[in-house]
Amino acid sequence: MAGAERKTTMLDESIALALMAVAIYGSTQVLAKVTVQSLNAVSMVAINFAVSIPIYLVFLVATLTIVDRSVLKPEFILYSVIGAATARGGYYIYLEALEKGTVTMVGSITAAFPAITALLAIAFLGESVQPVNGLGIVLIIGSMVVLSLVHGDSSKGSGFSRAALVLSVAVLVIWGVGGVFIKLALSHIPLVAYLAVYPFILPPIALAYLRHKRATREVFFPKWTVPVVFAIMVVELWQLAYFAETGAVSKGAASIVYPIVSAYPIITIAGARLFIRERMSRVEWVLIVVVVVGILLTSVV
């Protein structure tokens, strides 16, 4: 009985962290949309890199000083490296896809990545979901895909290029598979130890992306303007959301957590409607309600 109660408590905690990530991710996107429109993707990547590295160095120092070295087995470190590389590398490929295709197409394809993670987690990690949870997962993922399509219908021009399609599918697979490795790592090592691999992952991936974009050194030294200040705030909030997301994965089932976290665009869309007066159709409101219902069903323990 005590074990069952402990399992339920842990699952509740993971859902709370996942919902926290949804709220922060979604509201951060609204803030970014309002305040950093004058910054391009290259500038955002450079600022993200410069702000994130000191944070992850703290986790590295903490791991080296307080984490029991016996738990840091090579295979667990490898899982962490793969998970971190797919998470951040997939994001940069996502930015590249957005440059070659519309947000509608890219968003609708990549929004389905939790389906891959959930299926792999059930098949290979032995996770199990109740029928009501499975229904909730289907509602969330399906509604997010449709919402991505519907929300972008107002922007004219298809922008449906083969390159954008290939990159979008690549992100779908990378994020979907990467989620399983993140769960594998967090099932065996503390969260702080997983985050400690980022100082080794971020530099080669970020610098490779910036080199691909032919960025100069000046991108790391932007003028101290209001958009730059808000961009730093966005990065810090995004990091907080990522910590909540990985914390949720460390405590709950990946097949449950990732579908919930993927629903964060509903906060972005609703926030854009409330604060910057973007228009929303009746269909979009219905889909948002369906996503909320899906989250409630997924959260049943």
Cβ neighbours around 65 below 10 Å, total: 7
Considering the domain boundaries, does residue 147 fall inside one? yes
Range of the domain at 117: 22-298
| Rounded Cα distance, 42 and 44, in Å | 5
Considering the domain boundaries, does residue 168 fall inside one? yes
Cβ neighbours around 144 below 10 Å, total: 26
pLDDT < 50 positions in the chain: 1-11, 154-159
pLDDT of residue 10: 43
Considering the domain boundaries, does residue 129 fall inside one? yes
- Chain center to CA of 234: 14
Q: Measured at the alpha carbon of residue 244, what is the angle toward residues 1 and 5, in degrees to the nearest 5?
A: 5
One-letter amino acid of 31: L
Considering the domain boundaries, does residue 172 fall inside one? yes
Residue where the block lists tokens 């089932």:
253
- Buried/exposed 7-20: b ≥16 CB within 10 Å, e otherwise: eeeebeebbbbbbb
Handedness of CA 70, 257, 168, 215 (dihedral sign): negative
Considering the domain boundaries, does residue 6 fall inside one? no
pLDDT of residue 191: 95
| Rounded Cα distance, 251 and 267, in Å | 24
What is the token pair recorded at 186? 């967090």
| Rounded Cα distance, 22 and 119, in Å | 21
Handedness of CA 184, 188, 194, 200 (dihedral sign): negative
**293: Cβ contacts below 8 Å, ≥ 6 apart:** 136, 139
Considering the domain boundaries, does residue 26 fall inside one? yes
Q: Express each pLDDT in 145-191 by its tens digit.
A: 887 777 655 444 444 577 888 898 899 999 999 999 999 999 999 99
| Rounded Cα distance, 249 and 242, in Å | 11
Considering the domain boundaries, does residue 12 fall inside one? no
Full-model pTM: 0.84
- Chain center to CA of 188: 21
Query: What's the structural domain count of the chain?
Result: 1
Considering the domain boundaries, does residue 17 fall inside one? no
Residue where the block lists tokens 């449906």:
160
